[in-house]
């Protein structure tokens, strides 16, 4: 599958999304994930950035056209609230603690992004 390569970043220490202008020395990136910063990371002490979590775009959009990233929570057509993860070489949605299903284009197009695991943890409370 050909897909657009995009990233977004969450600052786990500050509890906020990062924008490119906040890290200009890393090449910049935006919430929608445009850019490349990996080449510049070698110039810095990576321990300083260990609280930053990078997530990749799955290449799929929900039924409203919203991009689906790792860490997003989707509401499936069967009313399940599931976290998107990259696992075993592909994007999957986590149904229970040990059950994952592939995120196919048809599932993505019939689901809705309702939040993310950083700002909306309460959405995942039911999972055991």
pLDDT (tens digit per residue) in 55-67: 889 999 999 999 9
The whole-number pLDDT of residue 73 equals 95
Tell me the per-residue pLDDT of 94-119, one tens digit each, with 9 for 90 and over: 988 889 999 999 999 999 999 999 98
Q: Which of 44-77 are b and which e, b meaning 16 or more Cβ less than 10 Å from the residue's Cβ?
A: eeeeebeebebbbbbbbbbeeeebbbbbbbbbbe
Residue 46's pLDDT band (cuts 50, 70, 90):
low
- Predicted confidence band at 27 (pLDDT cuts at 50, 70, 90)? low
**CB distance 68 to 61 below 8 Å:** yes
């Amino acid at each position: 599958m050909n897909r657009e390569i995009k990233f977004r970043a969450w600052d786990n220490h500050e509890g906020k999304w990062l924008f490119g202008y906040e890290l200009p020395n890393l090449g910049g990136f935006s919430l929608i994930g445009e850019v490349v910063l990996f080449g510049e990371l070698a110039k810095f002490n990576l321990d300083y950035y260990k609280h930053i979590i990078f997530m990749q775009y799955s290449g799929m959009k929900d039924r409203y056209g919203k991009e689906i990233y790792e860490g997003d929570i989707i509401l499936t057509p069967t009313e399940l609230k599931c976290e998107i993860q990259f696992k075993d070489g592909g994007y999957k949605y986590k149904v229970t603690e040990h059950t994952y299903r592939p995120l196919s284009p048809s599932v993505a197009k019939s689901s809705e992004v309702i939040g993310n695991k950083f700002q909306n943890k309460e959405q995942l409370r039911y999972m055991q």
